[in-house]
Structure 1
Amino acid sequence: MTIEATARTVREATLDLLRDLGLTTIFSNPSHTEMKLFEDWPSAGFRFITGLQEATVVGMADGHAQATDTPSLVVINGGPGLGNAMGSVYTAASSHTPMVILGGQQARKLLQGEPFLHARDATQLPQPYIKWAAEAARPQDVPALLLKAYNIANQVPKGPVYVAVPEDDWGRPASTVPLPARAVVPAVVPDPAVLAEVAAKLSGARNLGIVAGPTIDTQGARHDLISLAEKLNATVHGSPVWPRSSFPENHPLFAGVLPPIPEMISAKLADHDVVAVFGSPMFTLFTTADIFPTTPVEPDLTPQPQLPENVEFLHFTDDPEAASWAMAGTSYVLPPGQTVRDLVPLVRAREQAPPTRPVYEVPRASSPLTQAYLFHLLAQELPADAAVFEELPIARADFHEQLPLGVDNNYFATASGALGFPFAGAVGFALAAPDRRVVAVTGEGSAQYTIHALWTAAQHDLPVTFVIPNNAGYLSLKYYLQEQDRETWQAGWDLSGVDMAGLARGFGCPAERVETPEQLQKALKTAFATPGPVLLDVVVADPGLFRL
């Protein structure tokens, strides 16, 4: 069979599909196996965002998708490139971020051997931290497979998907049959009978508690949850790990973020008779109290983590798997955001009691600076509508106490425990919303995982302020140890000698090292008045044992 030279290629058909889907911002650190896609690249219509390392590329795409609530597109090598990116893929999966990852594969004729940059068992590498993965059986099937991937990524619970494409597929003839016009429309609504039942339980509760999870913000129901909480005069807790704000932290009904330890969750929720968990797993845990002692222990005969038996838990999630392992109560599989909207007019208004939000001590200026004082000053200077990305494994308590974010602030943190999301995510968010000030607050250890994002921020002159509370160590590891062990294992947690300001300037990002209260306030004012990116390397004292 003779193919005419003018026949449309798989590459051309794919570019047309990407335009139709709106996937025109491409995050990439390309390698040899993807280059055929970029031949004769269109001079207009696509925005190509280069990252210097694949973990940073996926992190930027994650932030972009969370800003737009639409899938982002990543193009990286499907072997070592995807391997580099897996920590960020793990985070995107934990955050339910819609994302299409297109992984380059070697030419089909080479796959029976072990070619350079080979992605062996390409669809298996991202498992299980991927929602779906596939490789086209035929070159002409690539566009249809990408359309399927897009729809799967965008269906709740959303998540990253992966498609492997052999290098030589891009130049092969495309199918002569166009893809059918079609749409996948989310049409799931809460059952009215369930809503009536739940409204009666919430209205009749003696001391109602609400746990606000990230899906509420993802589904645009933050203001609806405020209305529901205020009408019911319910105490609101942030879900453990708190990867995205679904309730303003400066609201008088907000009682703080639940710690990811079952014993502490039980203590926080024990006084409620009914607790409604909206849009969060029930619950994400990090450890248990009995793990902390380092003395020899007996065989573990303890039960699985428990919640208070005298509390009725109502769990609302769009994730059937999360419903299957909830720790207690009744789980309802439905869209949490729409459920909150529908409940507001159904519940009975309660008499308003005095606010429950605790008052925290105002930290004092000192030398060296404390992390609490840094966050206190940051709260004073922070733009009212700033989007904040945070990764502070040992400083989250001080951060949320001193920097209670309001209803106009977006807030994002890692949902997985894998480090590096905020630096890259802040850059991706700023690419999607260049009219917003974005602030990334992360320790000097966490920053190393995606520090390459500074280069992309500088290249695009993005309005991102990077604030580094620099305590010269992985102190979350240091304080897991008994005091006598910290000195002998110092090599495992000591990060002294890292010049964050110098590193930032090396990537083309203006930076300043800050060591005094006077210098800090001036530096914050200057950074927020600067149109492009700025990094502040703020030297802070060792805070000691961290609080959850």
Structure 2
Amino acid sequence: MTEEASASRTVREATLDVLRELGLTTVFSNPSHTEMKLFEYWPEDEFRFVMGLQEASVVGMADGYAQATGEPSLVLINGGPGLGNAMGSVYTAASAHTPMVILGGQQARKMLLGEPFLVAKDATQLPKPYIKWAGEPARPQDIPGMIAQAYHIARQAPQGPVFVAVPEDDWIRPAGPEPVRVASVESAVVPDPAVLARIAEALNGAERPGLIAGPTVDAQGARGALVALAEKLNARVWGSPVWPRSSFPENHPLFAGVLPPIPELINERLAAQHDVVVVLGAPAFTLFTAWDLFSTNPADPDQSARPALPESVRFLHVTDNPEAAAATLAGQSFVAPPGAVVEGLVPLVTQHERVALTPVREPVPVPEASEPLSQAYLFHLLSQELPEDAVLFEELPIARADFHEQIPLGADNGYFATASGALGFPFAGAVGYALARPDVRTVVVVGEGSAQYTLHSLWTAARHNLPVTFVIPDNAGYLSLKYYLQDQKSWQKGYDLSGVDMAQLARGFGVRGERIEKPEGLRAALKDALTADGPVLLDVVVADPGLFRL
């Protein structure tokens, strides 16, 4: 590069070079005025621009894309109200440890003295604490290097979203005199052989070993190794509570089910089955509530102890998250990459006798057609029509038990759900996943209540003609809220969603939508929707499933 060319280069041009080098060439965005200077003379032949109609959907789509590729995704939104709109999805991405670089537009530097339109006050503080790292450049020419730094922080374990605030006018300022050097940062962390030996010794000495599969095992590519480890030990495998990603096939005979996020029920299941349990790639444990909070009796002063695990079971915990290790309920915790630990344990454990274990799950009855339709019947038919390699995204706060019972996912199926209590990820995440993996059928099973949070992603699915099938078990209510209260009738205004027609909404965004209220034609509609060229939404009216089951 000549001295004259170097002097004329802008921050925008230098940043695009860095993004190319990092492979961040797919941009998820709902741009505002504060980002427009980046898009001048946009090199559309090199960068794919994915438009979303609302920032929560944009971040949700980027989340699904990153989980599909295993690499950070790139988001560009306004850093003030735009980021505010997106915070529920940022919260979920942080809970899922999704690597993501979010660029937030800020007002021009010379206007920050007052309170200009679209300003991001304390820009780096807004996304905290649900962000791994946040930066705001002191000088315009620092932006390309700061983005490279943010990218590497997002990729490092434990992975997570990062944020860089960029003033609008910085894009057109002169870049630094030298090109930004993008370092190569590779993970070189491996498990301590002594730690592997200790865990293997505990498993080899156990009479009734158990394994708990967390999402990081699959994220680090060790799902097959976990199957080999479980089969060699003849050990039951449980899904970690609030299972956001499948790390073990649910149709495998050693799969025991997903643990409930309630300490008393976790203890009941594990103490009855195991003397040694190893938690792999998940917190020990993610908890949602305690059993005493289901009572409607007057509450006494809380003098109860923190939740604890049964002393009759030895718990060992493997995580790459130091904070999760510090907060563990297990007796021993090891900070190490769970995928590598699983792979390292396979040759170290001894072959246990392959005997059939006593079933811990009740036989699942085959549901029958009815009017109104039951959600169990819907899921049963869906399971029969699913492509063998279909990837499923699920958000069913009231219906998860029916979903997992009727759709036992196999080794070739991917499974993703929200890692947090914030609704909306699967509806948008599936669209992002399909953008990265258009070669497989992505199936979304989400209630009509959860769908409202990122409904706008339907438009993006239609615009890119993505192979996504949206299946809505429509029970006309936020029923996860209904059954918390004893006096349901007086609370009806808080959960009643009657009058929402998801098929009509889908058609308004350009997605083919069909509303189904009777069993006749349901199988044919599912078969067609799962093989269609482009996105299809089926709004299937189902009966109230009643009190949720854990």
In the alignment, is residue 422 of structure 1 matched against residue 426 of structure 2? yes
Amino acid at match of 2:286: T
In the alignment, is residue 511 of structure 1 matched against residue 503 of structure 2? no
The C-alpha deviation readout for 1:318-344, integer Å capped at 9, x for no partner, is 000000000121001001000110110
The C-alpha deviation readout for 1:282-324, integer Å capped at 9, x for no partner, is 0000000000112212111111111111100000000000000
In the alignment, is residue 94 of structure 1 matched against residue 98 of structure 2? no
Identity %: 71
CA contact (8 A) 2:77 2:83 kept: yes
* CA–CA distance in structure 1, aligned partners of residues 206 and 6 of structure 2: 72
The C-alpha deviation readout for 1:340-370, integer Å capped at 9, x for no partner, is 1011011000001215363211111111111
User: Which residue of 448, 459, 472 corresponds with 1:468?
Assistant: 472
Partner of 1:9: 10
User: Which residue of 402, 409, 434 corresponds with 1:405?
Assistant: 409
User: Which residue of 440, 445, 454 corresponds with 1:441?
Assistant: 445
User: Which residue of 432, 436, 446 corresponds with 2:436?
Assistant: 432
Give TM-score scaled by structure 1 length. 0.98
Partner of 1:192: 193
1:5 deviation in Å? 10
* CA–CA distance in structure 2, aligned partners of residues 426 and 460 of structure 1: 13
CA contact (8 A) 1:252 1:357 kept: no
1:94 deviation in Å? 0.2
In the alignment, is residue 536 of structure 1 matched against residue 538 of structure 2? yes
CA contact (8 A) 1:251 1:357 kept: no
In the alignment, is residue 306 of structure 1 matched against residue 308 of structure 2? yes
Amino acid at match of 2:302: D
Partner of 1:282: 284
User: Which residue of 421, 434, 452 corresponds with 2:456?
Assistant: 452
* CA–CA distance in structure 2, aligned partners of residues 405 and 246 of structure 1: 11
The C-alpha deviation readout for 1:6-56, integer Å capped at 9, x for no partner, is 610000000011011000000000000000000111131100000000000
Amino acid at match of 1:161: V
Partner of 2:339: 337
* CA–CA distance in structure 2, aligned partners of residues 334 and 91 of structure 1: 23
Amino acid at match of 1:83: G
Partner of 2:28: 27
Amino acid at match of 1:77: N
Alignment of 1:253-402 (within 5 A): 253-271=254-272, 272-355=274-357, 356=359, 358=361, 359-402=363-406
* CA–CA distance in structure 2, aligned partners of residues 386 and 357 of structure 1: 27
The C-alpha deviation readout for 1:103-145, integer Å capped at 9, x for no partner, is 0000000001000000000000000000000000000000000
1:178 deviation in Å? 1.9
3-state SS of the aligned residue for 1:161?
strand
In the alignment, is residue 231 of structure 1 matched against residue 232 of structure 2? yes
Partner of 2:498: 496
Alignment of 1:162-241 (within 5 A): 162-241=163-242
| Structure-2 change in CA distance of 1:370 and 1:182 (3 Å) | same
* CA–CA distance in structure 1, aligned partners of residues 476 and 161 of structure 2: 34
| Structure-2 change in CA distance of 1:121 and 1:496 (3 Å) | same
Bigger drift between 42-51 and 124-133 goes to: 42-51
The C-alpha deviation readout for 1:403-447, integer Å capped at 9, x for no partner, is 010010000000011000001000000000001100010000000
1:515 deviation in Å? 1.3
Amino acid at match of 1:221: A
Bigger drift between 26-35 and 176-185 goes to: 176-185
Bigger drift between 36-45 and 50-59 goes to: 36-45
Partner of 2:136: 135
1:181 deviation in Å? 4.4
* CA–CA distance in structure 2, aligned partners of residues 127 and 5 of structure 1: 37
* CA–CA distance in structure 2, aligned partners of residues 220 and 5 of structure 1: 42
Amino acid at match of 1:516: K
* CA–CA distance in structure 2, aligned partners of residues 465 and 192 of structure 1: 45
Amino acid at match of 2:52: G
Q: How many residues align?
A: 545
CA contact (8 A) 1:254 1:357 kept: no
| RMSD (Å), alpha carbons | 1.2
The C-alpha deviation readout for 1:184-204, integer Å capped at 9, x for no partner, is 110111111111121111011
CA contact (8 A) 2:281 2:320 kept: yes
Partner of 1:487: 489
Partner of 1:53: 54
* CA–CA distance in structure 2, aligned partners of residues 197 and 281 of structure 1: 20
Amino acid at match of 1:537: D
Structure 1 unaligned runs (5+)?
A: none
Partner of 1:161: 162
The C-alpha deviation readout for 1:70-111, integer Å capped at 9, x for no partner, is 000000000000000000000000000000000000000000
Amino acid at match of 1:149: A
* CA–CA distance in structure 1, aligned partners of residues 29 and 285 of structure 2: 34
CA contact (8 A) 1:501 1:513 kept: yes
* CA–CA distance in structure 1, aligned partners of residues 102 and 355 of structure 2: 49
| Structure-2 change in CA distance of 1:8 and 1:268 (3 Å) | same
Bigger drift between 195-204 and 456-465 goes to: 195-204
CA contact (8 A) 1:253 1:357 kept: no
Bigger drift between 326-335 and 515-524 goes to: 515-524
Amino acid at match of 2:21: D
Structure 2 unaligned runs (5+)?
A: none
1:518 deviation in Å? 2.2
CA contact (8 A) 2:145 2:182 kept: no
Give TM-score scaled by structure 2 length. 0.98
1:391 deviation in Å? 0.2
3-state SS of the aligned residue for 2:488?
helix
Amino acid at match of 1:293: S
3-state SS of the aligned residue for 1:517?
coil
* CA–CA distance in structure 2, aligned partners of residues 522 and 412 of structure 1: 26
1:514 deviation in Å? 0.9
Partner of 2:126: 125
